[in-house]
Amino acid sequence: MIDPSTGPSVEPPPGPRVALVTGATSGIGRACALRLAADGFTVVVGGRDASRAAAVVAEIEAAGGTASTALGDVALPGYGDGAVASTLAVHGRLDVLVNAAGVITRSDAEGTTDEEWHRVMSTNVDGLFRTSRAALPALRASGGGAIVNISSTNGLVGVPGLAAYCASKGAVTNLTRAMALDHAHEGIRVNAVCPGAVDTHMLYSERGTSIEEVRSMNIGGIPEGRIPGGDEIAHMVSFLADDRSRHVNGANISVDGGYTAA
């Protein structure tokens, strides 16, 4: 029986804590994998590209960490189950899931095709949901743990020309709250980090304008006046993955230089 005052009574298995990071071959996901490894986690690098995943593993190992891969497309129905099973087979436990895989399409509702809508939803929502569902029994067996979703400020406020992306991140925001309520009594915390503009490939993709123009346009809307790198988002993710944030649950935390404060 779980004592609400102390959390779950299940004793975690011995050994270093293990974190599975989806979308870990680039952008925010890669930064999260490197940060968690530096903070002492064994990291499972999730992604579609084997060579890029191997490069992240090599970087972690070169710095003295431990890592493996869970290759595949998070948008496909079997990925979550397979990634969790692979993690358990290789490392024997799972303590943290970071759902960082994501895609974007830039259009209003009228201009968004069915194919574009499905691509965004199947990765940003369906993949996140299925991987989280697959992780729950493993987290429970570890005596509790954390799920950290990479959402977006676009899941908190609307933005013109991002209909599908805003819808997908809005779903992530509220799924985070719902899962936190469902699993808090098991010592499983579910939170989301909501970045604003971040200096990654996604910020500049599908724009049709120069990097300099994109940066200028985004900086104009950020009170702090700068665009952060993925490592700054990763620091918040690592905090939420760790026992330091034990009383943080069901939160959607903006990391946006003050953008949503306006």
In the chain, the amino acid numbered 47 is G
The total number of structural domains that make up the chain: 1
Using a pLDDT cut of 90, give the percent of the chain over it. Answer: 83
Assess whether 79 carries a catalytic annotation: no
What's the average model confidence in pLDDT over 95-109? 96
Confidence of residue 202 (pLDDT cuts 50, 70, 90): confident
| pTM (two decimals) | 0.92
The answer to whether residue 186 is domain-embedded is yes
Residue 113: pLDDT over 50 = yes
The answer to whether residue 5 is domain-embedded is no
pLDDT per residue over 161-175, tens digit each? 999 999 999 999 999
The answer to whether residue 201 is domain-embedded is yes
Q: What residues make up the domain containing 48?
A: 18-252
The answer to whether residue 84 is domain-embedded is yes
Average the pLDDT over each of 11-20, 40-49, 102-111, 178-187 and give the range with the smallest value.
11-20
Average the pLDDT over each of 169-178, 186-195, 201-210 and give the range with the smallest value.
201-210
The answer to whether residue 12 is domain-embedded is no
Average pLDDT of every residue of the chain: 93
The answer to whether residue 2 is domain-embedded is no
Print the SS3 string covering the chain. Answer: CCECCCECCCCCCCCCCEEEEECCCCHHHHHHHHHHHHCCCEEEEEECCHHHHHHHHHHHHHCCCCEEEEECCCCCCCHHHHHHHHHHHHHCCCCEEEECCCCCCCECCCCCCHHHHHHHHHHHHHHHHHHHHHHHHHHHHCCCEEEEEECCHHHCCCCCCEHHHHHHHHHHHHHHHHHHHHHHHHCEEEEEEEECCCCCHHHHCCCCCCHHHHHHHHHCCCCCCCCCCHHHHHHHHHHHHCHHHCCCCCCEEEECCCHHHC
pLDDT per residue over 1-60, tens digit each? 334 444 555 666 667 899 999 999 999 999 999 999 999 999 999 999 999 999 999 999
The CATH number for 203's domain is 3.40.50.720
Which of 79, 165, 204, 259 is catalytic? The answer is 165
Residue 93: pLDDT over 90 = yes
The answer to whether residue 13 is domain-embedded is no
